[in-house]
Amino acid sequence: MYGLYAEQLNESHLDAQQRKYLQQLRTGSSLNIEGASAMAGGNTRKNFNTGSAWLSGFFDNGAQNIVDMYDDQFVWEDSEFDLTITDKEELFKFFTVFDDAGPDSPHGVHVFHLISYDGQQVPKTHATLGPRVNEVPEGWDPAEYRRLSGPIMIGADFEYDEWGYMQWVWRAQHNSDVLGLPSAGKTTVTRGTSTQFYRNGKIVRCRTHWNFREFAMQLGVIPPRA
């Protein structure tokens, strides 16, 4: 499951360069990423420009550039897609749908604009989990509790030395249906946020949320605001 346009992501959508990069990921060989921004990784302190490079990198340099921004040990999550990825090969396959392939791309045309960035360097630390987080609270169905809480705990033990919080807007021209909704031929606009934690300039935790309610209203599947 790759989330967006899942039925199309059987690798047949990859071009020659993307297939070569995917093979490099699988073999662990040296990756040659054309056009990769110097701000993508390393020990560079993060700021608005690095956040914008991450957000728009799909279009400027392709999915290869974005994957290189992540540490080898990472977690990426989009709760609206109900999708959690911890493997670079899977991340690459998912991100390629956002490569700018022109207005007739079966994956549509997606444009993101970063509006604001907050962030700070911190002493090395990791997430703090509740003392009884593995115990099912009273009144909860155990399976439901673990389904919801499980993804939150993935990567909680990853150390980070910097964090960033981004707010952005997203415009999508849909050439196919998305998440089983009648999207083909329609354009949607919405806003979202991404929170990232970095270690030595690489992303170790990355979680995104966007306004699904507004998205669904524009597709006519739920009533508009009163």
User: How far lies 152's CA from each of 62, 145, 148, in Å?
Assistant: 28, 11, 8
Please compute, for residue 164, the number of CA atoms within 13 A of its CA located in the half-sphere on the CB side. Answer: 27
Q: Name which residue leads in pLDDT, 178 or 33.
A: 178
pLDDT of 102 reads 74
Residue-wise pLDDT tens digits, 55-82: 987 666 677 888 889 999 999 999 888 8
Has residue 30 got a pLDDT over 60? no
Q: Is 160 helix (H, G, I), strand (E, B) or coil?
A: strand
pLDDT for 29: 63
Helix, strand or coil for residue 27? helix
Distance CA 54, CA 37 (A): 9
Average pLDDT over residues 12-22: 73
Confidence of residue 13 (pLDDT cuts 50, 70, 90): low
- pLDDT tens profile 184-223: 999 999 999 999 999 999 999 999 999 999 999 999 999 9
Does residue 3 carry a pLDDT above 60?
no
Q: Please calculate the CA angle 159-169-148 and round it to the nearest 5 degrees.
A: 50
What is the reported pLDDT for 32?
45
**Per-residue pLDDT at 137 exceeds 50:** yes
Alpha carbons 162 and 199: distance in angstroms, whole number: 7
Residue (of 80, 67, 86) closest to 153 by Cα position: 86
Q: Spell out the alpha helix ranges (H) of 28-62.
A: 48-60
How big is the chain by its Cα radius of gyration, in Å?
18
By DSSP bridging, strand 202-210 and strand 70-78 are: parallel
Q: What is the pLDDT of residues 87-136, one digit of tens each?
A: 998 888 888 877 766 788 777 888 899 999 999 999 999 999 999 999 99
| CATH number attached to the domain at 6-218 | 3.10.450.50
Can you give the pLDDT at residue 33?
Answer: 41
Note the pLDDT of residue 39: 47
| Residue 8 clears pLDDT 70, i.e. is over it | no
**Which pLDDT value is given to residue 43?**
63
pLDDT at residue 180, as a whole number: 83
CA–CA dist 44, 37 (Å, integer): 11
* Sheet with 70-78, side-by-side order of all strands: 83-85, 70-78, 202-210, 187-199, 160-173, 109-125
Residue 167: is its pLDDT beyond 90?
yes
**Biggest CA-to-CA distance, the chain:** 55
Inform me whether the pLDDT recorded for 161 exceeds 60.
yes
For residue 95, the model assigns a pLDDT of 82
pLDDT of the residue at 168? 97
pLDDT in the model for residue 132:
93
- State the Cα–Cα distance between residues 121 and 163, nearest whole angstrom: 7
Domain segments of the chain as ranges:
6-218
Q: How far apart are CA 63 and CA 100, in angstroms?
A: 10
